Structure 1
């Protein structure tokens, strides 16, 4: 079950990378001092990406746990 653990690590790392990318994107939008409506639009665009990255991270961690239990 080592392969399941490594696949989980890769998926979880991809999710973590997505979370970091979303944080950087939102922080740069805040630093640009956008008007309120434009900042809200940027945040609304970033929300699905954030949730998708969080989902990937959780799925990856679940794969790691399952691989440890089965191995």
Structure 2
């Protein structure tokens, strides 16, 4: 079950990478926003990506835990 652990770690790392992207995207959006409506639209997109990244990260961590229990 080593493959499940390493695959889960890679999936979790991809989720963390997407979280970092969300942080950088939100900081850039706050700097570059022309008005409040533009900022709100950009941050709503960031929130959707953030939830997806959290789900991917949790899925990867669950794969690691299952892989450890099955070893």
TM over 0.5: yes
Write the distance in 2 (CA, Å) between the matches of 1:56 and 1:68: 19
Which consecutive segments of 4 or more residues in structure 1 shift more than 6 A?
Answer: none
Write the distance in 1 (CA, Å) between the matches of 2:33 and 2:40: 12
- CA-based RMSD of the aligned residues comes to 0.9
Tell me the SS of whatever aligns to 1:10.
helix
Number of residues of Structure 1 aligned to a counterpart in Structure 2: 71
TM-score, normalised to structure 1, is 0.94
Q: How far is 1:33 from its partner?
A: 4.6
Structure 1 unpaired stretches of 5+: none
Find out whether 1:59 has 2:59 as its counterpart.
Answer: yes
Q: How far is 1:34 from its partner?
A: 3.2
Correspondence for 1:38: 38
